Structure 1
Amino acid sequence: MSNPVNRPSGRPNEIARWHNTMRDALGRANNLQAPNRNLSGNPLEALHAQARHPQTALIRASDVFTPEAPRPGGAADRTWRDPDNQSRVYAPSNGVPLYNQGDPAWKSLRLGGTGTVSATSSNSIQKKGCAISAAAMAVSALSGRTITPREMDRYLDRSGGYEGNNVIFGRTGGVTGGNPRITATRQSNLSVNEIDRQLAQGRPVVIGVTYDSVNRTQTDHWITLTGKNADGSYSANDPNRGVVITLRREGGNGLTAPRGVTPNGRSYHFRNQAVTFSGGTPVRANLGNGQDSFTARPANAQAGATSRPQTT
């Protein structure tokens, strides 16, 4: 329950501006039946003197919005600059850089071996490099370093990170050289609830999706989930053409994106194949993005001049 605040005589709009709030909020806090009417009368004169001190004339002291301090590593305004080409900058989505596996800088690199191949070859990053591109996005975000698919491929070549042209996900975190230490773990039955928990902690999740085929147990493509939206949908960086797509819950424990939102015109279905990451710095965008914390203050507490509570 709100405690009535001190108020001077005058127009409600003027009094609200004095307290850095809105007229309707002022009316609710003071139990005013008609907050759009001028305030007048003896009681208002008695309150006028105290109203000159806004720091003690609080609208509501029970709810206080406490912004979370910006964290390094995954800030939304980080510049994701290519270490091999300083003129190249990759746009972020929810603090995670967005890579295109068909980028000319790496599309023809051979998976599971050195050198280049035709970009249309089944051994090229453009054709089959979604897994390393998705992992590179997640590890970049958690490490605070721009680790492109090119750099990830080089590292996996050196460290035995391929079986044929298939990536061994458990090796991908080692691309940071232990600074910071990041561990990637392949998950064969990851629930959507666990995905929610990982995203809430600021950790991107790489998920495998199947296309609209008869056999939906086969993983056809890998994308990087970057956050859960206010409407319950999920944002993902899709390395196929380097676009942001939206997925929604499907059934009790699945996610899906329809043909109309995917870059290849085929529907995506998540069937619990995924990669999670530990270590590094959790991704947090800048203040005011919905990831700040909302804390309660006792109703009889007062904020000082440098800490004004937000009104509701």
Structure 2
Amino acid sequence: MSVHTVRRGDTLSALAKQYNTTVDKLAKANNIKDVNTIAVGQKLKLPDSFERPSTSGPSKGGGDNFQQAPASSSGRAGPARDDDGRQFPTSADGTPIFKQGDAQWGGRSLGTGSSISAAGCAMTSTAMAMSKITGKVINPGELDAHLDKTGGYAGNGLIWGQAAKMGGLGASKPGWSMDTINKQIDAGRPVVIGVDYKAGSNGGSNGTDHWVAVTRREGNTYFANDPATGKEISLKLQGGKLVGGPSNYKSTGELVTFSGGNPKPGTAPAGGGSTPAPAPAPTKPSGSAVKGLDLPGGDLEKGAKGAAVKQLQTALVKLGHMTQAEMNTGPGVFGPKTEAALKEFQAAHGVPNTGYYGPKTRAAFDKLGADVGGTQGTGGSSGPGPVTGPGNEPGAKGGVSLAQLRKIMPNLSQAKAEQYLPHLNKAMAEAGINTPKRQAAFLAQLAHESGEFRYMEEIASGAAYEGRKDLGNTQPGDGVRFKGRGPIQITGRANYRAAGKALGIDLENNPKRASDPDVGFRTAAWYWNSRNLNQYADSGNFKELTRRINGGYNGLADRQKYYQRALDVLT
């Protein structure tokens, strides 16, 4: 005869349904005279006929019927207890069952908005999986507090690797594979999967509607802890997908697995955790997965679009920080999924997890053998030429005239203006700098950086850049060799290499070519688009545009003077 320990909220009626028996049989087996009175902690003997709980569970809030999973033949594992002494039910394999709407944590803010109750299914599922693998109960409130402190959200999106760190684990997003799922859960290691339930969502606007933690299987039936209902549910394997549960869940192909912790947790002991065994080798792909892969040489951030973003996404997929399914929802679009995956990569490689693709992140990819600054390394959208940039609208205003250029840069001589104008206009056309706002911002920055095209090469020797690894200056003499050149003064071996590859010119071995007008203006346009600066010009955010060129606000007043003059001339 098995025993059930009464938990808060239990009633004889509910327990009778759970264990497929009757209230009278429960009362008789336990000598209970008042069937309305049972105490928390009381041990109830279960009649021999209980064997499996009822398969007709309660309805979800909206009235959708679903099946609650049956327990294994050995009965359900005992309750799990967190550090505060609070007990939680467990699935048959011993994984704690948390409900995202639990009063203890449901109202906590999730990332930048919403709440755990409304949108915390991924985080709650992760807490359940981590608790089983580590042998320590980590409830969603505790995990959310950890993520708040460590930058574990990208908007409201979960950064899986950052979450896993709370339990000393790693996390990866391999491609959908039932073989992978089976190997994990057969070892007692739950996995987290994405599911759809909204009609016609096909992955949802964010790639999936909901997340559940799959914990075990019996033949083609898989059992999962569902954070929406706080129940263990059953899913059937059909055509390579898992389907069933509330509102007819259908797996979307998104899969998260965890490395480290107990290699084979098995069934957790009732009422407590165990000491984790030594961690197995991580399942995340090795860094060699990106060896030789082209990656952009310029900065990228959320909102960027184009071939460079697609390159970055491809690398993140190969390294297991992003799934192919996630990339397919927005190839070449730097959105929340890409930002979360990049933050995870950064955290795993000792880079501040800002979600910004900058010099330190490029250096981390470079260490893995990636070809940083590959041939498609620009921040532009699709279109002819490697410099072509975002928003190159057909019919937009063409280049500037000689008279306009000299009004914007009054100290530029007639001869120099005539010499430079064809190269300037060609570069702007090639880069999609083709509206008055874009042209004004571009010309203002160039005017300041080059002294109205007076200096196409930095006056200083460049010795100050010697040894600057963040600029790619790794060889003796690189500081002088790759000092600032061109009207925007590109600097450092890494920038010369990236610009040269993008433009089809070997600037790394011929750095002085960057000061020639036919090349210099193109490098300026490349630099502009590699940092997606047209979008800041379009929005009129000249101050932020300056920061992204200069790294700060040096000379801002002078730059703004040119900017206003250019706007007056061009509009």
TM range (shorter): 0.5 to 0.7
Partner of 1:224: 213
Shift of residue 83, structure 1, vs aligned partner: 1.7
The verdict on how the C-alpha distance between 1:196 and 1:155 changes in structure 2, with shifts beyond 3 A counting, is same
Residue 81 of structure 2: aligned partner: 81
8 Å CA contact 1:212–1:269 kept in 2: the answer is no
Letter in 2 for 1:268: Y
Select 2:234's aligned residue among 246, 251, 257. Answer: 246
Q: Which amino acid aligns with 1:228?
A: R
Provide the C-alpha distance between the structure 1 equivalents of 2:77 and 2:235, rounded to a whole number of angstroms. 24
Using the TM superposition, give the Cα deviation of residue 279 of structure 1 relative to its aligned residue in structure 2, in angstroms.
0.9
C-alpha displacement of 1:78: 6.2
1:209 alignment partner, one of 187, 195, 198:
195
Taking the aligned partners of 1:206 and 1:286, their CA distance within structure 2 comes to 18
Greater Rg over alpha carbons, structure: 2
Matches of 1:215 and 1:169 in 2, distance apart?
23
| 3-state SS in 1 of match to 2:193 | strand
**2: distance between equivalents of 1:224 and 1:134?**
5
Report the TM-score when normalising by structure 1.
0.57
Distance 1:286 1:185, change over 3 A: closer
Q: How far apart are the structure 1 equivalents of 2:152 and 2:232? A: 27
Opposite residue 233 of structure 1, the aligned amino acid is: T
* Partner deviation per Cα, 1:42-101 (whole Å, 9 max, x = no partner): xxxxxxxxxxxxxxxxxxxxxxxxxxxxxxxxxx756521323x2x20111112100000
Residues 134-149 of structure 1: pairs in structure 2 closer than 5 A: 134-149=125-140
Which consecutive unaligned segments of at least 5 residues does structure 1 have?
1-75, 114-121, 288-312
Aligned runs of 1:268-287 on 2, under 5 Å? 268-281=249-262, 282-285=264-267
Deviations 1:150-203 (A, max 9, x none): 001000101110011111112111112xxxx3111123x311222112112221
The answer to whether the Cα contact below 8 Å between 2:81 and 2:137 also exists between their aligned partners in 1 is yes
CA offsets 1:243-299 (integer angstroms, 9 cap, x no match): 111001121x21101xxx41xxx2111121011011111321279xxxxxxxxxxxx
Take 1:149 and 1:92, find their aligned partners in 2: how far apart are those partners?
Answer: 15
**CA contact under 8 A between 2:143 and 2:163: conserved in structure 1?**
yes
Counterparts of 1:204 and 1:137, CA distance in 2: 8
CA–CA distance in structure 1, aligned partners of residues 115 and 129 of structure 2: 21
Q: Distance in 2 between matches of 1:270 and 1:135?
A: 17
Distance 1:255 1:77 in 2: 24
Q: What is the identity, as a one-letter code, of the residue corresponding to 2:189?
A: R
CA contact (8 A) 2:152 2:159 kept: yes
Q: Shift of residue 238 of structure 1?
A: 0.1
For residues 102-126 of structure 1, what are the alpha-carbon distances to aligned partners after superposition, in whole Å with 9 as ceiling and x for unaligned?
A: 100001000115xxxxxxxx61100
Conserved in 2, the CA contact under 8 Å of 1:98 and 1:243? Answer: yes
- 1:255-274 equivalences under 5 Å are 255-257=242-244, 261-262=245-246, 266-274=247-255
SS of the residue corresponding to residue 206 of structure 1 reads strand
- After TM superposition, give the deviation of residue 213 of structure 1 in Å: 2.3
Tell me what 1:111 maps to. Answer: 110
Residue 173 of structure 2, aligned match among 179, 186, 191? 186
Task: Compute the RMSD of aligned alpha carbons.
Answer: 1.9
Letter in 1 for 2:265: V
Pair 1:126–1:247, CA change in 2 (3 A): same
The answer on whether the counterparts of 2:212 and 2:226 sit within 8 Å (CA) in structure 1 is yes
**Does the 8 Å contact 2:111/2:157 carry over to 1?**
yes
Is the helix fraction higher in 1 or 2? 2
Within 1, Cα distance between the matches of 2:238 and 2:249?
Answer: 11
Separation (CA, whole Å) in 2 of partners of 1:271 and 1:193: 16
Q: Which runs of 4+ in 1 moved over 6 A?
A: none
Which runs of structure 2 are paired with 1:1-312 in the superposition (5 Å)?
77=77, 79-84=79-84, 86=85, 88-93=86-91, 94-112=93-111, 123-176=114-167, 181-187=168-174, 189-218=175-204, 219-229=208-218, 231-251=219-239, 253-257=240-244, 261-262=245-246, 266-281=247-262, 282-285=264-267
Query: AA paired with 2:169?
Result: I
Q: Tell me the amino acid that sits aligned with residue 213 of structure 2.
A: T
Aligned amino acid, residue 216 of structure 2: G
Q: Give yes or no for contact 1:183–1:277 (8 Å, CA) kept in 2.
A: yes
Q: Distance in 2 between matches of 1:127 and 1:160?
A: 20
Percent of matched pairs sharing the same residue: 38
Does the 8 A contact of 1:205 with 1:225 survive in 2? yes
Q: 1:244 to 1:275 in 2, by over 3 A?
A: same
Contact 1:212 1:267 (8 Å CA) reproduced: no
The runs of 5 or more residues in structure 2 that have no matched partner are 1-75, 270-571
* Paired residue type of 1:213: A
- Provide the residue aligned with 1:70 in structure 2: none
> Helix, strand or coil: the match of 2:102?
coil
Q: 2:81, 2:88 within 8 Å by CA — same for their partners in 1?
A: yes
Q: Which has the higher contact order (CA 8 A, sep 6+)?
A: 1
Amino acid at match of 1:222: W
Taking structure 2 as the reference length, the TM-score comes to 0.32
Structure 2 SS opposite 1:102: coil
Conserved? CA contact 2:224–2:234, under 8 Å: yes
State the distance in 2 between where 1:186 and 1:151 align.
23
Amino acid at match of 1:81: R
* Count of aligned pairs: 189
- Give the number of the structure whose residues are more often strand, by fraction: 1
Equivalent-residue separation in structure 2 for 1:194 and 1:185 (angstroms): 12
Q: What SS does the corresponding residue of 1:190 show, helix, strand or coil?
A: coil
